[in-house]
Amino acid sequence: MNVKNIRQDFPILKRKVNGKRLVYLDSTATSQKPKQVIEAITDFYETYNANVHRGIHKLSEEATEHYESSRKKIAAFISARPDEIVFTRNATESINLVANSLDWKKGDEIVTTIMEHHSNIVPWLELKDQGMKVKFVDINDDGTLKMEQFGKLITKNTKLVAVTGCSNVLGTINPLAEISKIAHDNKSLLLIDAAQSAAHTKLDVAAINADFVAFSGHKMLAPTGIGALFAKKSLLEKMKPFMKGGDMIKEVTTESATWNDVPYKFEAGTPNVAGAIGFGAAIDYINRIGIDSIRQHEKELIGYALKLAEKEKKMTFYGTKHIEERAGILTFNFENIHGHDVATILDQEGIAIRSGHLCAQPLMSRLSINSACRASFYLYTTEEEIDILFDAFKNVRKVFRID
């Protein structure tokens, strides 16, 4: 990877913040967008803006062609079929779609983990009002899952196992194939929250034998407001639609309605056409660089950051030190200093990180903290930017008189 050349594709990286060059270390929250994606969206609005599927005029046909082309690209990216890809707003909506569309029965159980993002916890907790039960797999001290607990918590009543591909706090990359086997040996379904993993590691839904995979475009170079749900076609055909109206209809009378074929059955109303086209352009960009090259680059970055972290005093760094099991996420705390205060000082240096509970309050409680700081890397991140981050820690120590 030629990171210097890659950075030229991202206009925002030329910005200055507070008079300093922007050091963007918040890609886990949202990635920056290359000019190729921005241009694809602009081209749509300038040359063939129209609604999809319904029109027979030239613009509508072109918009439909590009929209469905993006669906095919996304499907190929994760080794799925196009009719198994439902466009959504984001991973959160994808998970909610599953929670609201599966045929649940009182007494059904969902097994998830303590490291999940709120989006992969709250939809399941809401089902408790209908008589469902939610169980949580714990973590080891190094931030990896206690894998033996899956076998203990999964029972004949477990309908779904819902697990993140990568923790947005710890950076832990979970053994999805192993979890899949445990779930399917029990005839349970497997949902993967791939919001943090799809852009960073190779995801093969066929090899993993995933039943559902939720992911967002904006974390993988695409615009906000566009995401996808992969689901096996046999499951989509059985599931009830989450929302109703628009293109998800096949026929309507004054007495009843019938639904469109999958995946359109789950795409009510006018979709985010521009977002989907941008998503397709983002997939093209990632494919051009190579997902394996991106993964290798991030391994080198997190390895470099962890070596620097060993020299820091009165700081806690969270997560495993085994870079094969870790994404480009560095989460840390200064002793007795709130994460927001640290992030404010770093922002003065032009460094963008994330702070707070990181949408993972159950994990924060498990770690006995109420906030943390998170620096996250992507294909455009450099070792020099990591040096700038660690050098800025000196200002934090100076302000708070940390020796």
What are the residue numbers of the active site?
359
Residue 71 CA to its chain's centroid (Å): 18
* Torsion angle in degrees (nearest 10) through CA of 162, 167, 172, 178: 10
Q: How far apart are CA 276 and CA 280, in angstroms?
A: 6
Both structure tokens of 15: 């910005």
Run of H or E including 355: strand 354-356
One DSSP character per residue, 115-175 reads T--GGGTHHHHHGGGGT-EEEEE-B-TTS-B-THHHHHH--TTEEEEEEESB-TTT-BBP-
Q: Is the separation of the CB atoms in 400 and 334 below 8 Å?
A: yes
User: Hey, which residues does 326 pair with through a beta bridge?
Assistant: 172
Q: How far apart are CA 94 and CA 88, in angstroms?
A: 6
From the number of C-beta atoms within 10 Å of its C-beta (0-12, 13-18, 19+), residue 284 rates as middle
Q: How far apart are CA 143 and CA 286, in angstroms?
A: 28
Both structure tokens of 9: 């594709």
Both structure tokens of 353: 């990180």
Nearest to 118 by CA among 386, 396, 356, 338: 356
Instruction: Judge if the upstream peptide bond of residue 241 is cis by omega within 30 degrees of 0.
Output: no
Both structure tokens of 365: 């409680």
Residues 112-147 as b or e (16 or more Cβ within 10 Å = b): bbbbbbbbbbebbeebeeeebbbbbbebeeebbbee
Q: Is the separation of the CB atoms in 231 and 98 below 8 Å?
A: yes
Q: Is the separation of the CB atoms in 163 and 153 below 8 Å?
A: no
Q: Extract long-range pairs of 287-291: CB within 8 Å, 24+ residues apart.
A: 287/77, 289/1, 289/6, 289/379, 290/1, 291/200, 291/201, 291/202
Q: Is the separation of the CB atoms in 167 and 115 below 8 Å?
A: yes
